[in-house]
Amino acid sequence: MGNVINAVLFVCLGNICRSPTAHAVFRSKVKSLNLPISYDSAGTASYHIGATPDKRSAQHGKKRGYDFSELYARAVSTEDFETFDLILAMDKSNYDDLMNECPEHFQHKIHLFLDFAENYPDHQEVPDPYYGGEEGFELVLDLVEDACNGLINKIK
């Protein structure tokens, strides 16, 4: 990751839990630091196109001060591989899906999001909280906040 990072894409399966959480957290941190970085989130599947983030993700994020407004699910597009400097998958399955879709000359842009985490060495993936309880959404926020901090430290 030696290149300048101007645009980051966060990717999970449906773009309603993990990647919008990363989007909201990263947006908050980037704005508070006044960094000139663009960002977005998307899903590798098209189940929820146009949907707002999962209510539980938004509720838990809001408790920590994050804004989930103006976020709508979309699927990863071919243009994303060219547009974004860094494409961060929430788990290995999404990473594999991205690598399969991505032209070879852009594959260096794709990484696991938790590669940037500083305080969770035992976690390689952001677990999908969709079918679990409230604690899953809190863990996602903990992991996402940590990885966003690590990512910003690398970018700066």
Per-residue pLDDT tens digits for 111-132: 999 999 999 988 999 999 999 9
Per-residue pLDDT tens digits for 71-118: 999 999 999 999 999 999 999 999 999 999 999 999 999 999 999 999
Show Cβ contacts of residue 132 under 8 Å, excluding neighbours closer than 6 positions. none
Catalytic residues: 12, 18, 128
CATH of domain 7-155: 3.40.50.2300
Question: In terms of pTM, does the model score above 0.75?
Answer: yes
d(CA 55, CA 17): 9
Domain residues of the chain, as ranges?
A: 7-155
CB 51 within 8 Å of CB 89: no
